[in-house]
Structure 1
C-alpha cells in the first residue's frame, strides 16, 4: 500500500470527510461539508486546502518541515509523503484545515481557488518569501 493510499484510507474514515473527484481533475479528493480539503495527486503527493490564515499562523512550523511545500499566495500546501511521519503530519494538518474551515468563513480563499497541482513549481517554504 502506498503512503498516499494509506493516508487516504485513514482520512476517509473520519466522519467530517468524504471521497470525491477533485476539481483539478487529477487523483482523488476528500471533502468536508464546506468543500474540498485534500487532493491526492499521486502515490506521494497531496495538496491540502489549509487556508491562507492557517498558513500564516503555522508559518514557523511549516518552514521546518522538509515534507511541506507551498506556492506563494496559495491557500493550499503541498505535502510530499516519503515516510510514515509525513502521514502523521498530514493527519495533523488535515485536522487543522477542518478547524480552519469550520471556525470562521474562508472569505479570501474562495472556492474557485484551485490547488497547486497545475500551477507553477511549488517552492520550499523557506523560499516562499524571497523575491
Structure 2
C-alpha cells in the first residue's frame, strides 16, 4: 500500500469528508459539501486546498517543511508523502483546511478550484517570497 493510499484510507473515514472525482481530472479527491479539500495525484503527491488566509497564517512553518511546496498565488499546497510523519503532517493540515473553509466567507473563496497539479512551476519553500 502506498503512502498516499494509507493517507486516503485514514481521511475518507472523517465525517466531514467524502471521496469525489477531482475537478482537475487527475487522481482521487476528498471534498466537503461545499468545496474540494484534497487531490491525491499520485502515490506520493497530494494537493491540499488550504485557503490563502490559512497559507499566510502558516507560511513560516509551511516554508520550513521539506515535504511542502508552495505556488505563489495559489490557495493550494502540495505535500510529498514519503513517510508516516508526512501522513501526520497531512492530517494536521487537512484539519486546518477544514477549519479555514468553515470560517471562510464565500466572497473570499477563489472562483476556481485550480489545484497545483495544473501549475507548471512549483517552487521549493526556500524560493517562495524571495526576490
In which range does the TM-score fall when normalised by the shorter chain?
over 0.9
**Cross-structure match for 2:27:** 27
Q: Which runs of 4+ in 1 moved over 4 A?
A: none
Q: How many residues align?
A: 131
C-alpha distance in structure 1 between counterparts of 2:58 and 2:122, whole Å: 18
**TM-score if structure 1 supplies the norm length?**
0.95
**Cross-structure match for 1:15:** 15
Q: Which moved more, 1:79-88 or 1:104-113?
A: 104-113
Structure 1 residues 30, 111: closer, same or farther in 2, change over 3 A?
Answer: farther
The alignment partner of 1:99 has SS state of helix
What displacement does 1:106 show? Answer: 4.9
8 Å contact from structure 2 (residues 36, 113) kept in 1: no
8 Å contact from structure 1 (residues 51, 106) kept in 2: no
8 Å contact from structure 2 (residues 31, 38) kept in 1: yes
The alignment partner of 2:116 has SS state of coil
> Is 2:78 the counterpart of 1:104?
no
**Cross-structure match for 1:66:** 66
Aligned residue runs from structure 1 range 1-131, under 5 A: 1-131=1-131
For structure 1, the residue ranges without an aligned partner over 5 or more in a row are none
What displacement does 1:130 show? Answer: 2.1
Structure 1 residues 82, 99: closer, same or farther in 2, change over 3 A?
Answer: same
Q: Which moved more, 1:85-94 or 1:111-120?
A: 111-120
1:50-106, Cα deviation, whole Å (9 max, x unpaired): 000000000111111100001001000000001100000000000000000002315
RMSD: 1.1
**TM-score if structure 2 supplies the norm length?**
0.95
